[in-house]
Structure 1
Amino acid sequence: MLSVSAFRRVVRASAIYDVLMTAPFATPWTFLLLHEHLSAINVSLGGLPLPVFGPFHLLISSLFGSVVMVWSVLRMLDPQPRFGRYDAAARYLFSTWMAWALFTTGQPLLWLFFVPELAWGLAQSLPLRRSEGAPAGCAHESLLRWR
């Protein structure tokens, strides 16, 4: 069980990780630079070069990067436990699609994204210690409201 203050540190740390990992996805230009590096890493791990991205692929990656950046900044500035719970749910969804892509393509690069994504989801799913003075039976955490 984590204290609320420790949990807030986990939420903030996951947000910082997201900013560092996602910033290159936020614009088509930065993603094109990252794409070359990701492809080289994938090849060095025994995979194939990544496919060339066209304008539509760049749009989707930039939309993903932009939304995650905004969500990350919110969690960095206001690391509420409920934001951590929502982020855990999102990470489980992302992990599901990464696992699907990994099993479909076998590209080893995906492990470098899948493992941390799942780990951050698990970390933000840990139970919280009940606050001092909270009435017994009181819901300590909720996705809808923080008490």
Structure 2
Amino acid sequence: MPPAAPAYLRLVRTSGWYDLIVTAGFATPWTYALLHHLLSAGGDAVGLGTMPALTPMQTLYANLMGSVVVVWSVLRVVRPLPLHGLLDGTARALFSLWQAYALAHGGPAVLWPFLVLEAAFGLAQLAPWAGVRAATVRGAGQGS
């Protein structure tokens, strides 16, 4: 599937909706406090552990991340472009690395489902670009 294909643009839009739904709760101190409680209770209920105690700095970083991701999500929902998929896939690769890092250093196991979805969306959005790169390299070689 080439990045300009309608199916790819639907994937970009779908990843935007997923991010909007999942991160909207991180965007304000009040919604983050509720989400933190729900994630902690849910993680505890299914044996994935609880979230660390809520602190003002943790809330600040959650709000900063949530605000940026909400804006980025709305852009992809309203106007999905191939470039948005490439950039989002790249960001998801970075987010996946940092989630894996947190898990490797004692982070709560409640991160695992998010890591799986982050990596899956990232791979799905980056894979078509590998084909573009290969075609560009083949085309450049034929012109010599």
Q: When the two structures are superposed, what TM-score results if normalisation uses the length of structure 2?
A: 0.84
- Counterpart of 1:99 in structure 2 is 100
How far the C-alpha of 1:91 sits from its partner, in A, is 0.2
Q: When the two structures are superposed, what TM-score results if normalisation uses the length of structure 1?
A: 0.83
Query: Residue 137 in 1 paired to residue 139 in 2?
Result: yes
- Counterpart of 1:141 in structure 2 is none
- Counterpart of 1:12 in structure 2 is 13
Q: Is the 8 A contact 2:50 2:110 kept in 1?
A: no
Letter in 1 for 2:81: Q
Classify the secondary structure of the residue corresponding to 2:49.
Answer: coil
C-alpha distance in 2, partners of 1:106/1:91? Answer: 18
Q: Is the 8 A contact 2:49 2:110 kept in 1?
A: no
The count of corresponding residues between Structure 1 and Structure 2 is 133
C-alpha distance in 2, partners of 1:127/1:57? Answer: 36
Classify the secondary structure of the residue corresponding to 1:33.
Answer: helix
Unaligned runs of 5+ in 1: 131-135, 139-147
How far the C-alpha of 1:106 sits from its partner, in A, is 5.5
Q: Percent identity of the aligned residues?
A: 47
C-alpha distance in 1, partners of 2:81/2:65? Answer: 22
Runs of 4+ in 1 over 6 A off after TM superposition: none
CA deviation vs aligned residue, 1:16-37 (integer Å, no higher than 9, x gap): 0000000000001000001111
- Counterpart of 2:47 in structure 1 is 46
- Counterpart of 1:145 in structure 2 is none
- Counterpart of 1:144 in structure 2 is none
Letter in 2 for 1:71: W
- Counterpart of 2:119 in structure 1 is 118
CA deviation vs aligned residue, 1:81-132 (integer Å, no higher than 9, x gap): 01100000000000000001112115320111100000000110122688xx
CA RMSD of aligned residues (A): 1.9
Which of the pair is proportionally richer in helix?
Answer: 2
Letter in 2 for 1:118: A
